[in-house]
Amino acid sequence: MATKVLTPNQVKERFRARGITVTQWAEEQGYRRDAVYRVLNGFDKANYGRAHEIAVALGLKAGVEHAAA
């Protein structure tokens, strides 16, 4: 079953609903605050590396179980 991918606005709304900040979430997940903001605000395309990992953790992209062969 596929996980629903969220929009950046939906992610921000979930943070507000839970009463946490992006900075707080970033620290709890072990990410740099500025890197999370760059992904969340669309400055990084998040196709590779840490930015992609952040996008998946935020729910902006679906996780991939197996790499392409």
Question: What's the total number of domains in the chain?
Answer: 1
Q: pLDDT > 90: what percent of the chain?
A: 83
Residues 6+ apart with CB under 8 A from 19: none
Residue 1 located in a structural domain: no
Q: pLDDT > 70: what percent of the chain?
A: 87
Q: Has residue 65 got a pLDDT over 80?
A: no
> Which tens digit of pLDDT belongs to each residue from 37-56?
999 999 999 999 999 999 99
pTM: 0.85
**Domain limits for position 15:** 8-58
> Would you state the pLDDT for residue 69?
47
> And the tokens for 51?
């930015």
Residue 65 located in a structural domain: no
Residue 69 located in a structural domain: no
> Would you state the pLDDT for residue 15?
96
